[in-house]
Amino acid sequence: MKLSLDRKTKVLLVVFLLIYIVVGVLNAIYLSKQSMGEAFKNVANRWVVKLPFGKGIFSRINPLTIFMTWAVMLVVILIAYRFKNPKLIPDRKQSALESLMEFVYQMVEDAIPDQRFVRPTFYIACTLFVFIVFCNILGGAIPGVSIEANAQGNIEKIHLFSDTWFSPTADINTNAFLAVFVFLISQVFAIKSKGFKAWAKTWFEPIPFMFPMNVIGELSKPISHSLRLFGNIAGGALLTYLLAYMAKYLFLPVILWGFFGLFVGVIQALVFTVLAIAYISSALS
Amino acid sequence: MGFVELNLTGIVQLLNFFILLFALYKLLYKPFTQIMDKRREKVESELAQAEKERKAAQEMKKEAEQILTNARQVAEKIVSDAKQRSDELIAQAKNQAREEADRIMNSARAEIEREKQQALDDVEKKAGEIAVTLAMKILQGVLDEKAKREYLVNILKKGQSE
């Protein structure tokens, strides 16, 4: 595919790359002096802010996750806004977008037995896929700004281009709540589709004795669903950080590793989406 | 802070997800599903139109074939009529020719008969004249038997040559 850029975009791209390289090199010189223990002492910490209201865990929030989510949302919404008025005869970009949506729609249509829930499931599945794919690529393949926090959750250092951006899907909160949402919506669809009595009966099948097993089986779905994505993306981020340290923060290996991050990110987004569709489908069937 | 810690972020993330879902529904899914439906409708209507036109073409073909069959029948009828007419004309002409021939033959026969009669009349007349002349000669009694015979032969030869 031939990439055609206008003059303004080319200038902006060159300026961005220059800043990127200069900051990256300066950062690498500064960071390469630290020891391994110093470099890795905070990898398991998150930047957490305590809110003036709420109690316990409900008073704590991870601002980086939310900021990065807003950034991803902004990018996705801007792209969507560009295609607000689709043409009847699509151009190349619209065709690509349509192909992606057709791909998800086809998956949903093949899996969902009740026609009434095909479109709502498609909206959920497509949004999940787009959101997670952008988050994963951001965290797995693009070097950017990341924040190192201490054990108390306060900011200790800000890394500039020596690590990838922080991915919202590397935070269990995002994945867990999305998985719970998928679980709840699948049960709501099941009640709507079968009726409450028939839905309740499915929990006692094939014999009433199996009820606890069914509960465990159903509840394990959102847990495995969320932890799978979290493990892959958070683990990928750790590996990237490790690789960056080993290469003395020269970002070339990070960019090369980014290719793997890209593939892992897309595959994990697809896995999460396919599982969401499968859970909704199994609840409906 | 903890690597795996559930807190208020999840709820905010869920809200963010709903906002994104709503925005994408408004900006992307709704227009795209509409345009896809429109496209499907267009394709279906064009297919229906094509089917209709195909049927019309088939109908027209059938009609043309019917017209052709009719034309062929008319042509065959014209040809057979013409043939019949020509046969009639030929038969008529043959009859006329036969009648004319008969007529010519009859008139020829009548002419022959007439001329034959006339020849007979002439011979009769001549024979009469000869008989008269012979009788006159006999009456005159001047001729001997030989002379009479020669004279008679001469007269007869003369009569024959005439």
| Dihedral sign (CA A244, A246, A251, A255) | negative
Calculate how close chain A gets to B51, using CA atoms only, in Å: 23
Closest partner CB to B20 (pick from A131, A149, A181): A131
pLDDT at A194 over 90: no
Any A CB within 8 A of B32 CB: yes
pLDDT score, position A2 = 57
Nearest CA in chain B to A132: B17
Query: How many other C-beta atoms can be found within 10 angstroms of the C-beta atom of residue A101?
Result: 19
Q: How crowded is the C-beta side of A198, counted as CA atoms within 13 Å? A: 11
B22-70 tens-digit pLDDT: 999 999 899 888 888 888 899 999 999 999 999 999 999 999 999 999 9
Closest partner CB to A123 (pick from B9, B16, B29): B29
The token duo for A15 is 């300026």
Closest partner CB to B10 (pick from A73, A97, A177): A177
CA distances from A101 to A91, A269, B24, B81, B128 (A): 15, 14, 12, 75, 142
Report the pLDDT averaged over residues A171-190: 92
pLDDT score, position B74 = 95
User: How far apart, in whole angstroms, are the C-alpha atoms of residue A32 and residue A43?
Assistant: 17
pLDDT score, position A58 = 79
- Band of pLDDT at residue A93, cut at 50, 70 and 90: confident
Place of tokens 């009694």: B141
Residue of higher predicted confidence among A219 and A242 = A219
A228-285 tens-digit pLDDT: 999 988 888 888 777 777 766 565 555 666 777 788 889 999 999 999 999 999 988 8
Of the listed ranges A79-93, A216-230, B43-57, the least confidently predicted one is: A79-93
pLDDT score, position B144 = 67
pLDDT score, position A227 = 92
CA distances from A116 to A201, A279, B150 (A): 22, 16, 152
pTM for this one? 0.71
Measuring CA to CA, which residue among A191, A190, A272 is closest to residue A225? Answer: A272
Cβ separation A73–B23 shorter than 8 A: yes
Calculate how close chain B gets to A183, using CA atoms only, in Å: 13
* Whether the complex's predicted ipTM surpasses the cut of 0.95: no
User: How far apart, in whole angstroms, are the C-alpha atoms of residue A37 and residue B19?
Assistant: 41
Amino acid in the structure at residue A94: Q
User: How far apart, in whole angstroms, are the C-alpha atoms of residue B66 and residue A122?
Assistant: 56
User: How far apart, in whole angstroms, are the C-alpha atoms of residue B28 and residue B138?
Assistant: 159
Query: Rounded to an integer, what is the distance from CA B6 to the centroid of its chain?
Result: 102
| Percent of chain A's residues with pLDDT above 70 | 92
Of the listed ranges A11-20, A165-174, B6-15, the least confidently predicted one is: A11-20
The token duo for A101 is 């949506």
Enclosing H/E stretch for A247? none
Q: Label residue A255 exposed, middle or buried (CB < 10 Å: 0-12, 13-18, 19+).
A: middle
* Chain B residues whose beta carbon lies within 8 Å of the beta carbon of residue A61: 7-9, 12
pLDDT score, position A49 = 83
- Band of pLDDT at residue A131, cut at 50, 70 and 90: very high
Cβ separation B2–A46 shorter than 8 A: yes
Calculate how close chain B gets to A73, using CA atoms only, in Å: 6
- Band of pLDDT at residue B97, cut at 50, 70 and 90: very high
Closest partner CB to B17 (pick from A44, A46, A131): A131
* Rounded to 5°, angle at Cα A164 from A161 and A169: 150
Place of tokens 């014999």: A207
Any A CB within 8 A of B22 CB: no
B66-84 tens-digit pLDDT: 999 999 999 999 999 999 9
